[in-house]
């Protein structure tokens, strides 16, 4: 099958390699322009002599850029595969191939629509998540489902670990499986149940501030659901510090935000009920370091109060 890959980064490059290995012909690769470093997907296309187009945007004020569209249609794909897409792709492009367009999404749609699906699954305390390959339509992650894969979320699983160890490799394999189903004429189109749909906005910037008055389980979920980006944060003596590697700790006396223990294994901080132990931190403008090392350098001890 003739495939156009729209995407970027390591995920897009791995999908590209696996589809070629499965015997599909990649006729075009479409990535955003590279800025500071080469993009792995773009580099793969260059190495193999595959048509590479890197539009700054596909449309202007809602009107498709005809030059970009002509470059795209010249590749004559049977199917578009979306693999880590951050640009807005016009429906004229998505509907163009005979088999239209499929996309990877890291949640069990219709739950957790939106670009921060993994963050929200962890922050909300979900015990299970997964991935969906779906047919793209005009909505945000609303198209018919082609296939899904389920995985459990561990008690201390982080955003970074869940994606790296599970959702990345499973997602690549699922996209290859989906393309094979499309090529064989066996790909289903299962409408999403709107009654079960949820949509959450981007998990970034100030949204990850820690409220120490909340239960330890909620603080724990917030920290691991923000690890590594954007990093759950608090203040100490007016300075911002981001916290990583949370585990639940035994309840101890103290007001919410109070540092109740400092040791080699980390810094323990009181919550509304219970406590969390933090493995590492990144003070604003500095490198990430072990929490114990930071505590020693910053004078953090049992008299310190986070959120101050």
Q: Average pLDDT in the 251-266 region?
A: 92
Residue 119, pLDDT > 80, answer yes
Domain ranges of the chain: 2-196, 205-298
Please report the pLDDT score of residue 175 as a whole number: 98
Taking CA atoms, 127 is separated from 33, 53, 154, 155, 182, in Å, by 38, 40, 7, 8, 31
Please report the pLDDT score of residue 221 as a whole number: 98
Global confidence as pTM: 0.94
Please report the pLDDT score of residue 123 as a whole number: 98
pLDDT bin (cut points 50, 70, 90) of residue 213 is very high
Tell me which fold the domain 205-298 belongs to.
3.10.25
Q: Average pLDDT in the 161-173 region?
A: 98
Residue, of 8 and 206, whose pLDDT is higher = 8
Please report the pLDDT score of residue 261 as a whole number: 94
Please report the pLDDT score of residue 281 as a whole number: 97
CA distance 98 to 182: 11
Q: Average pLDDT in the 141-164 region?
A: 97
Please report the pLDDT score of residue 206 as a whole number: 82
Through-space distance between the first and last CA atoms of the chain, rounded to whole angstroms:
59
Residue, of 141 and 206, whose pLDDT is higher = 141
Please report the pLDDT score of residue 308 as a whole number: 81
From the candidate CATH numbers 3.40.50.300, 3.40.50.2300, 3.40.50.170, 2.40.160.40, the one assigned to the domain spanning 2-196 = 3.40.50.170
pLDDT bin (cut points 50, 70, 90) of residue 9 is very high
pLDDT bin (cut points 50, 70, 90) of residue 108 is very high
Residue 14, pLDDT > 80, answer yes
Report pLDDT digits (tens) over 23-81.
Answer: 999 999 999 999 989 999 999 999 999 999 999 999 988 899 999 999 999 999 999 99
Report pLDDT digits (tens) over 80-101.
Answer: 999 999 999 999 999 999 999 9
Please report the pLDDT score of residue 117 as a whole number: 98
Report pLDDT digits (tens) over 280-308.
Answer: 999 998 999 999 999 999 999 999 999 98
**Residue among 102, 194, 178 nearest 142 (CA):** 194
Residue 205, pLDDT > 80, answer no
**Cα angle value 268/273/274 (rounded, 5°):** 35
CB 228 within 8 A of CB 160: yes
CA distance 49 to 44: 9
CA distance 89 to 172: 21
Report pLDDT digits (tens) over 227-255.
Answer: 999 999 999 988 999 999 999 999 878 99
Neighbours of 22 (CB within 10 A): 13
């Amino acid at each position: 099958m003739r495939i156009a890959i729209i995407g970027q980064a390591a995920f897009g490059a791995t999908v590209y390699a696996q589809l070629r290995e499965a015997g599909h012909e990649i006729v075009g690769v479409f990535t955003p322009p590279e800025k500071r470093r080469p993009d792995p997907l773009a580099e793969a296309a260059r190495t193999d002599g595959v048509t590479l187009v890197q539009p700054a945007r596909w449309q202007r004020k809602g009107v498709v850029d005809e030059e970009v569209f002509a470059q795209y249609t010249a590749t004559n794909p049977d199917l578009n595969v979306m693999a880590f897409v951050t640009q807005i792709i016009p429906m004229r492009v998505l509907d163009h191939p005979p088999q239209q367009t499929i996309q990877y999404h890291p949640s069990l749609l219709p739950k957790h629509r939106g670009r921060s699906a993994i963050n929200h699954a962890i922050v909300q305390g979900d015990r299970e998540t997964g991935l969906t390959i779906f047919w793209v339509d005009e909505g945000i992650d609303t198209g018919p489902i082609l296939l899904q894969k389920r995985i459990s979320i561990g008690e201390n699983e982080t955003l970074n670990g869940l994606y790296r160890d599970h959702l990345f490799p499973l997602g690549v394999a699922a996209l290859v499986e989906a393309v094979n189903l499309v090529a064989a004429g066996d790909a289903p189109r299962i409408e999403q149940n709107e009654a079960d749909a949820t949509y959450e906005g981007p998990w970034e910037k100030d949204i990850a501030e820690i409220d120490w008055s909340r239960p330890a389980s909620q603080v724990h979920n917030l920290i691991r659901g923000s690890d590594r980006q954007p990093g759950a944060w608090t203040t100490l003596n007016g300075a911002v510090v981001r916290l990583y590697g949370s585990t639940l700790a035994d309840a101890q006396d103290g007001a919410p935000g109070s540092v109740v223990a400092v040791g080699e294994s980390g810094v323990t901080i009181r919550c509304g009920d219970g406590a969390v132990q933090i493995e590492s931190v990144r003070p604003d403008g500095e490198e990430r370091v072990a929490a114990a090392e930071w505590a020693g350098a910053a004078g953090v001890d049992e008299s310190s109060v986070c959120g101050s």
